[in-house]
Amino acid sequence: MKNPVVPSWTESTRNLFKPVIVLVITFAATVKLSQSLYRYNLRRRSRARSGTMSSSSSSDNGTGVQARRRSRILSSKLYFDIPNSKVPLIYSSAYDITFLGIEKLHPFDSSKWGRICGFLLVDNVVDKNCIVEPLEASKNDLLVVHSEAYLNCLKKSANVAMIIEVPPVAVFPNCLVQQKVLYPFRNQVGGTILAAKLAKERGWAINVGGGFHHCSGEKGGGFCAYADISLCIHFAFDRLNISRVMIIDLDAHQGNGHETDFANDSRVYILDMYNPGIYPFDYEARRYIDQKVEVVSGTTTNEYLRKLDESLEVSVHSFDPELIVYNAGTDILDGDPLGRLKISPDGITNRDEKVFRFARKRNIPIVMLTSGGYMKSSARVIADSITNLSNKCLIDTGKNMTAT
């Protein structure tokens, strides 16, 4: 098993230093010491493992790992029965991140998820009582994909600060970081995992959150601390009797996390449509993309949608999935500071409609995750897109349902 890797800063970090430069310089020595100790401990643990586990590594990395993973999945409480009065729209107020205003130092709108649901409620697209609230993913759930060493690295605030790209977080007690940052993420992970069960039962599910596609089992980064997509798929394998999953990743950034986790895994087909000129520049992970579609900076709506149509048509003849995980990032919007593409709000609506039509026409259960999007307007755009899916009868948001 590879050692966990502490993530490096990405492009958005450069924009953060101006307002926090004094604080960062003050605590730079502390952060550097924490990183050095972390790397030292990793090397020491690695040497210890190589000396004590070499004789049993082959069997332990095979059936033993699979048995432990399956046992954790089967004992998880994240799958639970949902009454028919609920619709497969998943959200909890615990998703939203508020951290003494520090969250505003990152371009990501950390209240986006609540604002999406707020728009849907005001627009009478869904009733509040019909929304499904997930459970928080436990440590045992996270160990299905993540190593103990990686989860332990999240107990150091400096490591979390680098993952979420907000330097001042490094100086706060980790108990506060767990409560204000990682707890919301773990709730979103629970939502993504539950979404697959709902999709299998109802044909579709939308987690108004999740899509942490830069995180793999051993490494976080790019505002992604937990590998919810990989976890969702492994749960589906063992609990839903699913053996073939297609990931359609249409976030502007390459989904290097799930690509790393499912490298050379024939059960998972990855269609990734991304801007190659922006983070994460993970050329190793690109080798594991089954269908790579690159859209360069400045790509406009018509060109983007044309490439999407072509890509979906190719995938029909390449793979026959039993579940689609759709990573529907809105950082492709024109004006997004990190995505650098020029897709209109209507283009987002058309994109989501195309993917849902693709799945629904073939009776393939589909899970949608909201993923990246670094403008305040993203929440409104996502809500409008979900409304369109409802109006086109591609999803049933239960406007005429009454809770039991």
Domain harbouring 159, CATH code: 3.40.800.20
Give 38-91 as a DSSP string: HHHHHHHHHHHHHHHSGGGHHHIIIIIHHHHHHHHHHH-SS-----TTS-SEE-
Residue 322 CA: distances (Å) to CA of 80, 98, 241, 371, 373: 21, 37, 10, 22, 28
Give dist(CA 206, CA 208) in Å, integer. 6
Give 329-392 as a DSSP string: --TTBTT-TTT--BB-HHHHHHHHHHHHHHHHHTT--EEEE-----STTHHHHHHHHHHHHHHT
- Do 255 and 270 meet the contact criterion of CB atoms below 8 Å apart? yes
In a domain, 101, yes or no: yes
The reported pLDDT for the residue numbered 145 is: 98
State the catalytic residues.
214
In a domain, 399, yes or no: no
In a domain, 365, yes or no: yes
Q: Which of 135, 144, 132 is nearest to 201 (CA)?
A: 132
The reported pLDDT for the residue numbered 98 is: 85
> Helix, strand, or coil here: 278?
coil
Indicate left, alpha or beta for 221 from its phi (over 0: left) and psi (-120 to 50: alpha).
left
In a domain, 61, yes or no: no
The reported pLDDT for the residue numbered 103 is: 56
In a domain, 36, yes or no: no
Q: Which of 156, 152, 167 is nearest to 36 (CA)?
A: 156
In a domain, 17, yes or no: no
> Helix, strand, or coil here: 324?
strand
- Go through the chain and tell me how many residues it has: 404
The reported pLDDT for the residue numbered 195 is: 99
Place of tokens 């307007």: 377
Number of domain units in the chain: 1
Which 8-state DSSP code applies to residue 15? G
In a domain, 33, yes or no: no
pLDDT in tens, the chain (404 residues): 445 554 555 544 444 444 444 344 434 434 443 444 344 343 433 433 333 333 333 444 578 889 999 999 999 999 999 999 999 999 999 999 987 766 566 566 788 999 999 999 999 999 999 999 999 999 999 999 999 999 999 999 999 999 999 999 999 999 999 999 999 999 999 999 999 999 999 999 999 999 999 999 999 999 999 999 999 999 999 999 999 999 999 999 999 999 999 999 999 999 999 999 999 999 999 999 999 999 999 999 999 999 999 999 999 999 999 999 999 999 999 999 999 999 999 999 999 999 999 999 999 999 999 999 989 999 999 999 999 999 999 999 987 444 33
Q: Which of 76, 356, 355 is nearest to 234 (CA)?
A: 76
In a domain, 335, yes or no: yes
Which residues span the domain enclosing 366?
A: 90-392
The reported pLDDT for the residue numbered 63 is: 84
Give dist(CA 137, CA 228) in Å, integer. 10
The reported pLDDT for the residue numbered 188 is: 98
